Amino acid sequence: MTNVTGIEASFGIDQGEFNLELDLQVAPGEVVAVLGPNGAGKSTLLRALVGLTPIDRGSIRIDGVIVDDPAADVLVEPAKRRIGVVFQEYRLFPHLTVADNVAFGLRSAGASKHVARSASQEWIERLDLAALSSRKPGELSGGQAQRVALARALATNPRALLLDEPLSALDIATRQDVRTQLTHHLREFIGPTVLVTHDPLDALVLADRVVVLEGGRVTQEGTTHEVAQRPSTPYVASVMGLNLLRGKALAGLVQLEDGGELQAPDASMSGPVLVAVRPTAISLHQHRPEGSARNVWQGLVSTIQPVGDRVRVSVSGAPSVVVDVTRNAVSELGLAVGHAVWLSTKATELEVYPG
């Protein structure tokens, strides 16, 4: 392939005990979320793409141009990579106004003050910052600062855009709004976008595709829908709020590894499988339930924890699962830690897939 575009990164980095091995392709216009827990290597990945940490093997290409390849002795410095970065905490220059922050990249590229100002004006208006342009970063709210950071990165006309935990510095109340705005702005960017986050909601809302990074390795990769519905590791399942069970399917019946069995919706499946169940798809009962639910088993309540207006109940049994119920249900069923309960779920609520 000659005129490949976007990001093509396939590399390894060793940092003492930790090493990162990664294969990442991002097409122009595509938004890929790299989702992972702390210490998974997300920051290292970002620093490698930007050019702040050199890779030890493999190569990174951006728009077909090699920017890092130790074997070929190529290492392009950050200032020459033309990658726009929205950093965690934004890293706005505290001594410059919003307008000068946004114009910084253009000034660095050699534009005169006047030219840089008028070119960055477009981004100031697009991101609705005109009223704030003479303020200093210290006088901005978190959401405003994030828009300035985005404008500053986009004003350089970058070949790729990287966002590092773009919403983690915001309080919960503004996060939803800013996330919606950000989705809109990312859709407009024509280059490849990589979004690094530990928040599954960011990944699901903002990205087209999710790459899950755990312990320096990619453990799952797929569209946001696939990853959300069919997690392949306990980490993904837990951040997506799903129960993930491993077992063997035979003629529509899944024998679970940790005990118990579940009726699958599809009898054709066989071999090793994963079963994902939403916590709201499981019902709790005081007595053995009558009715259409195909899967019924017994367990002991191990924890009860309020989450928003619902209550998350962990039940140990075969299998052990977490169940979300309403607050009313807790009192109606008289739920308490150590109590025996019956659980039921319909076969059609189970997502069963090869694993």
Please report, as ranges, the residues that interact with another protein according to CB under 8 A: 50-52, 77-85, 87, 89, 91, 93-96, 104-105, 107-109, 152-153, 156
Query: 219-254 burial string, b = 16+ CB within 10 Å, else e?
Result: bbbbebeebbebbbeebbbebbbbbbbbbebeebeb
Of 107 and 246, CB closest to another protein: 107
Phi first, then psi: give them for residue 192, nearest 5 degrees.
-75, 145
Closer residue to another protein in complex, CB, 11/104: 104
Q: Which residues of 28-56 are buried (b: 16+ CB within 10 A; e: fewer)?
A: ebbbbbbbbeeebbbbbbbbbbbbebebe
Tokens of 263: 């009726």
**100 versus 349: smaller Cβ distance to another protein:** 100
Q: Which residues is 351 bridged to in the sheet? A: 276
| Closest distance to another protein from the beta carbon of 27 (Å) | 22
Angstrom distances, CA of residue 107 to CA of 91, 114, 116, 120, 155: 18, 9, 6, 10, 11
Which of 101/232 has CB closer to another protein?
Answer: 101
Least gap, CB of 118 to another protein (angstroms): 18
Query: Could you tell me the smallest distance in angstroms from the CB atom of residue 148 to another protein?
Result: 12
* Geometric angle at alpha carbon 293, from 291 and 298, rounded to 5°: 100
Instruction: Tell the smallest beta-carbon distance from residue 77 to another protein (Å).
Output: 7
Smallest distance from another protein to CB 79, Å: 5
Paired tokens of 351: 């997502």
Please state the closest distance from residue 110 (CB atom) to another protein, in A: 9
Q: How far is CA 217 from the centre of its chain?
A: 15
The smaller minimum CB distance to another protein, of residues 95 and 187, is found at 95
Between 120 and 243, whose beta carbon lies closer to another protein? 120
Amino acid identity, position 164: D
CB of 295 to another protein, least distance (A): 52
Pick between residue 108 and residue 348 the one whose CB is nearest to another protein. Answer: 108
Residues 50, 162: contact at Cβ < 8 Å?
Answer: yes
In the complex, the smallest distance separating the C-beta of residue 176 from another protein, rounded to whole angstroms, is 26
Which DSSP letter does residue 290 get? P
Residue 77 vs 309, nearer CB to another protein: 77
Q: What one-character-per-residue DSSP string does 35-95 give?
A: E--TTSSHHHHHHHHHTSS--SEEEEEETTEEEEEGGGTEE--GGGT-EEEE-TT----TT
The answer to whether 211 and 25 are in contact (CB under 8 A) is no
CB 97, min distance to another protein, A: 12
Q: Which is nearer to another protein, 149 or 211 (CB)?
A: 149
Strands across the sheet containing 160-164 = 83-86, 160-164, 193-197, 31-35, 209-214, 217-223
